[in-house]
Amino acid sequence: MNQILDRNGFGNDSHARLLLRSSTFSGYSEFPNCGLDAVYFTKVGSPVHVTSFSKFNGSSIYFNGSSYIYSSYKSQFNFDSSMEFTVDFWVSTTSLAGVRVIMEQFDGQVGPGWTLYQNGTSLVLYSTGAIGSITNFFTAINTFVHFAWVQKPGVGTKLFRNGISTGLIGGYVTASTTSPNFSVGARDDAGPKYYWTGHIDEARISNMARWWQNFTPPNRSYGWSPKYSGGEGCVCLITGEEAMTSPTTFTEWSRSSHVVNVNGNGLQKDSVNKVLGVYSWDGDGTSDFLNITSGLSDFSFGVSEDFTIDTWLWIDSVQPGTASYGIFTQNIYTATGLSLFAKSDLSLYMYYAGAARINGVAILPLDQWFHLAVIRYANVIRIYVNGLQYAGSWSFSGALSCTSELRILGRQFSPLRSLRGKVDNFRVTKGRAVWTAPFSTTLPSSRFEYYQ
């Protein structure tokens, strides 16, 4: 992305710690952070993405007056006078009356911390007292308005409505002292909630002052990620090309930037047999595998949480032995994690807690690429091969915890039995079923690119 444009609010750059946005189907109710920090939201009530009203991408996040989302306390959002930052978002209200919290990280009902709330037609910034406000911020219902709160240490604070500043404010917010949750759409406290009613989109928190003079509000969405996006909710993306700068070095391209460990005698680039882009990566079956051992909360799926693990896979016709070979393993196969194996007879089976959960017939192709996906949607886990459901399904709503490692191309028990074959564009998506029905006519046809 163009850094000059980023500094003027057009994009999701390395300064964007939070980006909460909507670009999805109506009824979707997960809220991944598309910025760089690990911010995971829990929903209360029925916050939802809707396509009936939007600013840029055909949808927005709607809060109905009895719902909100929250994340655990974030020190990087615990603002004080020493910090440079910008909070900006597009917001539309469905009511011009009442006091309603839009966003905050605020101690109890009186502060300190900070809260941004609607008071009738005004938008107010409050800490231990009112820091500043914009009167007549909301002049009509169901109308998107851009808001920005910008702070420069030693200089002061500015509030902007549609790019127009109310002038310099000398005061600063005071840091919270009780580590409250960060919330959007209401106050996450035992007292009054002050529920928001309206729509929010492109909500961003940046660790820089993006504007100081009057500006033209952004005229497009900020995008998914400054790296390969992998789509909404992507927490792991290993492509087949930039992913490997040498046989022993991999890069994980999602916003999480996990460290990828290479095991065995090295995996090789293959520029001939690939699906998407220029290269795939090839394991020879002699104990070759990748694993990720940190940031494992990305690979732990909560109760009833949707997820998708998908990749392009090539199985060589000659395997080193006759048994089963790991495709991916969430934990040791006897533990409460998920494992998927290819058997020597070219069938698949899925294990959880030491028992087979999905076990089907031999249909996997040899010496050719096929797309493989494991998806939980609406508390049912299914395997798809080239977009068609494989064997039966497994009804399971429980948590799937990743406590030791995520392993790719190898299994975690003796003998190791790494798969001899190739992988292209391995991806983990948390909080979202990328596909909710068979998709054989809409298989991924291009590598995951930078957001344009």
The residue that leads in pLDDT, 265 or 433, is: 433
pLDDT of 187 = 94
The mean per-residue pLDDT over the stretch 413-426 comes to 76
Q: What is the Cα–Cα distance from 171 to 154, expressed in whole angstroms?
A: 10
Beta strands in 46-121 (DSSP E): 48-50, 60-64, 68-71, 85-93, 99-106, 113-119
Asked whether residue 218 carries a pLDDT value surpassing 60, the answer given is yes
- End-to-end CA gap in the chain: 8
DSSP secondary structure of 306-330:
-EEEEEEEEE-S--SSSSEEEEEES
Q: Which residue, 18, 152, 172, 181, is CA-closest to 89?
A: 18
Q: How confident is the model at residue 411 (pLDDT cuts 50, 70, 90)?
A: low
For the chain, counts of helices (H) and of strands (E): 1, 32
Lowest-confidence region among 81-85, 156-160, 267-271:
267-271
What contacts 435, CB < 8 A, 6 or more positions away?
308, 373, 375, 384, 387, 442
pLDDT-based confidence at residue 104 (cuts at 50, 70, 90):
very high
Q: What confidence score (pLDDT) does residue 332 get?
A: 63
Q: Residue range 248-253: average pLDDT?
A: 73
Evaluated on CA atoms 436, 297, 75, 259, the torsion sign reads negative
pLDDT at position 248 is 61
| Predicted TM-score of the model (pTM) | 0.55
Q: Which of 50-54, 89-93, 200-204, 240-244 has the lowest mean pLDDT?
A: 240-244
Residue 449 has pLDDT above 60, yes or no: no
Q: What's the CA gap between 103 and 222, in Å, rounded?
A: 19
The Cα-based distances of 56 to 20, 190, 218, 222 in angstroms read 13, 35, 10, 10
HSE toward the beta carbon, residue 240, CA cutoff 13 A = 25
Checking if the pLDDT of 314 tops 50, the result is: yes
Q: How far apart are the C-alpha atoms of 186 and 195, rounded to whole Å?
A: 4
* pLDDT tens, position by position, 171-216: 899 999 999 999 999 999 888 999 999 999 999 999 999 999 999 8
- Mean pLDDT of all residues belonging to the chain: 84
Give the SS3 label for residue 73.
coil
Mean pLDDT to the nearest integer, 314-343: 77
pLDDT top residue among 113 and 411: 113
* The predicted structure's pLDDT at residue 452: 25
- Name beta bridge partners: 299: none
255: how many CB neighbours lie within 10 A of its CB?
26
Task: Give residue-wise pLDDT tens across range 255-304.
Answer: 677 888 888 776 777 777 777 766 777 777 777 888 999 889 889 999 99
Query: Which residues contact residue 154 at a Cβ distance below 8 angstroms, ignoring those fewer than 6 apart?
Result: none
Q: What percent of the chain has pLDDT over 90?
A: 49
Is the per-residue pLDDT at 146 higher than 90? yes
**Domains along the sequence of the chain with CATH:** 3-206 (2.60.120.200), 234-430 (2.60.120.200)
pLDDT at 12: 66
In percent, the amount of the chain with pLDDT more than 70 equals 86
**Between 160 and 264, where is the model more confident?**
160
Q: Which residue has the higher pLDDT, 322 or 389?
A: 389
Most confident among 110-114, 245-249, 307-311, 313-317 (mean pLDDT): 307-311
Report residue 397 as tokens: 């709503």
Residue 56 or residue 60, greater confidence: 60
- Predicted local confidence at residue 383, as pLDDT: 98
